Chain A
């Protein structure tokens, strides 16, 4: 909504500085986005109102004349080329040095006076173009007769145009008058409503037209009048000027009046050419599905059975509350006008305009909910202007079909509720003043209640708390104290998965991984690269109807695609190692319900290790880096993970392990299949860790198993063992770990694997550090040798392992 300060001032005296006015409006009423000062460049000293007192021909040029102007500080003679200059006109007069728009170049420049065809000129009589008001260069700007000679032009014609975003519940603020009512309350100055008087010189309205509301559930009120004998022509300059400033194109006096009154009051109106209305009757009814009408914008529209049409005796003439039809449009040939001022049900108008993709100034207002009582004021205001500006005669009486009439709404506001909601009390006098200034009827019901009746333009006010908001915002939120919440705290809800997610995030960061956050919406083909065809659930991701871009159409069912994409994008920028992770949700479809938002950790590593001074070296990050990260996370969580070779889609066979803990499968560690990586533009080995947080949480110990550090030293003895290449090293470790001899605990770590020269075909050599720990004594070499012998026997029997 635009707001012209001069228009606002017609209804309320406001002399606050513009930024202050804007701030008050923002604090209490609506968002002032910006404002533009008209005449900001007009030097008050050098550009003033003057009057033309004499005109003589130029001695040396036929097309130029010499005008004498009264400037208020003496008479001056100027050379003037404008055809429309005439004695008696009030004009804008500039003297040397005034900053003006150059009529030829369009640039701003200071006025330099020089003789024109041999005659000195004391100044310049200005056109709209030179003042930057328009491109019109045709003639000089003629000011109203009441302009004061010698007054700076900026005071006469300067203005401020605000750009205001109003809130969705305040249709009344989509009218200058509505904003004026707010300003009036904000500055505590009285409101002057515009004139609505007119004479009813025409025949009784009932003899001219009739109105039928067939669907009163969608049309609470419909009023109409007829204006006969109008002379179609341009509307006056002041009206056109204001319409233009509010972004509306002037058309003719009749249409302009309806638009003007809409901007002024917020209530849309529609003028039909009376003689084109068949049957002289208007009917408000639901459309027959498939019914059509060419609207004023020349487009043929088709309607469904929910949309409301205004029809005449034969068919549709207007889309109710949205746009009129071309078949009954006011034109130059119009002599009689049928004026419609009606109220429509907001949701229905919004639906219609959305479905038709036709949002008009009228529909934007109706959809926010205009009170049906606004109709009458706007109607009378329009008739006042019709009488003044079209020469028409107004019918006697007004058709007013009003099935939605409601008794005035009275709301009881207990004074204690104000303090209960806001945290501070507002004095009775202030309460009464604020409501009265806003146009509410307010009665104090002693000792501690108010009876409040909202004005007809405020259908948004329904309950006591709505009233409290009006009090709070006008009283000023700066008076709201800041207090501390009192009362008891609620029981905490346990959030095991979320807590685990945050721990895993921290652990990944501790392991040198960078967190990324990718979009939840992706492309189906990207998901298909990482999700197995037989995984039907993940292969059937949910899609959205209206994605922001085609590449964000499907809700991801795997985090892998996002990580691979991000890896590829960053590889273009960086040498050396990349370690990325995301903790996010897979959206797994569920029949007839919201999807399962499964929380998953996914990490991706690859590249060469950095050498000294951040140079990428030769040594590559490999599977065991990824696995090491998984083990570190599990270890820190106190979860003993088991890794088992697995075959998984999109991952390289022989380089993939499934992680389990207890009975739960909790994740994967793998080299991404080179072809999958390549599909994401990655041409180097990359390794992935995936941890399924919802499964992991089921095996998460409440606290780590604690073991007091032993007072006795641990004995270590290394072994080199040969086993079949096909035997997983984990079996060897498991056997060692399960080996107990008395109270001696045996653990083992593999520190090397070797195949090749010196090792028989089909075997591998594992270097194992075996550690022995007794809780009650220091072990002797003999103890260790004895246990080792037993262990070696068992390894040989169970695994065929022999010492190398």
Chain B
């Protein structure tokens, strides 16, 4: 299946992926309205250490420990994608306790949030990938 892969060599640390993610998931059409002045809480985040920067989002593991650990049955794997049912999630943070990548974060609502490869955003490619100026984030089969 296609996944998001990140190459830290090419990452500029520009944080555009974070903005594109937040915009794509905001449900708001107007980018200015969605982002201006807003404190964004995206499902992908840039980590920086010295000169190195890279983006981290859900790895959609083959054998996802978050799904196995979820105490509310909110996390599941559908067609290879680790999905979250926000309706079921009660924000206990067990998934944050176990995710080896730090890819699941609290959200502004009661539930946690994570990358779902933009499947619900009616775009053909995840927003972070599409907007990455240096192709450090790609969406492909490996």
- State yes or no: do A and B come from one complex: no
Q: Which residues of A does B touch, CB under 8 Å?
A: none
Q: Which residues of B does A touch, CB under 8 Å?
A: none
